[in-house]
Structure 1
């Protein structure tokens, strides 16, 4: 699996569970969190495709969800500005 925050590759042995308090070796963020779960999907109710899972408020912190499965998704790089965005910012920029 890959860390949701820094995209560090984390080896998960098939059949073994990710510990509730495990941390990413790259950034120290929680591994057993909604953002690293295969069921995580912001388009769904409670951002989870598992209907039986209990609600978790902070998706980036440790949780005790029993439905957690490691996700293959990597961190998404920050979006780069396009030329059109630069032109719009220049158009609405305050003049000194």
Structure 2
């Protein structure tokens, strides 16, 4: 019997000697399996878009001219990184007076083109709209 307070036989007292657990040698882990699995996240890209129509623009350090699609002036407050309608004079920079109108060309010294970081959504293969339908129809061919 064991050295219990009450000398009753229990499920832990089997009469046999307890077996020692055999430890298996640790399997060698690969470095990339440790921790959380990496996600298959899409890549990102930095783009500039027209504030009026949303057309992709070439990333130029100092844009001169107009949007090729709608003719919107690129050196304007609406296209600027510091444009904020809720702040004083609708600009995050300390300008002495309000620049008006916001969608016309101006000579603001704080101007920098607004850039956005977007997810890369283009697929690696050629995704045509008929591919899904063709795959569905191939299921029922004999």
Specify the TM-score bucket, using the shorter chain as the normaliser: 0.5 to 0.7
Structure 1 unmatched runs, 5+: 74-96
Match of 1:11 in 2: 58
- Does the C-alpha gap of structure 1 residues 52 and 37 become closer, same or farther in structure 2, counting only changes over 3 Å? same
Which of residues 102, 106, 123 is equivalent to 1:63?
Answer: 106
Whole-angstrom CA distance in 2 between matches of 1:53 and 1:67? 12
The correspondence of residues 4-83 of structure 1 with structure 2, limited to 5 A, is 4-13=51-60, 16-19=61-64, 22-52=65-95, 54-72=97-115
Q: Deviations over 1:56-77 (max 9, x none)?
A: 110000111111111136xxxx
Larger Rg: 2
Kindly indicate whether structure 1 or structure 2 has the higher relative contact order, using CA contacts under 8 Å at least 6 residues apart. Answer: 1
Relative to total residues, which structure has the larger strand share, 1 or 2? 2
Equivalences, count: 69
TM-score by length of 1: 0.65
Task: Give me the CA root mean square deviation.
Answer: 1.5
Runs ≥4 residues deviating over 2 A: 52-55
How far residue 12 of structure 1 moved from its aligned partner, in angstroms, is 1.9
How far residue 10 of structure 1 moved from its aligned partner, in angstroms, is 0.6
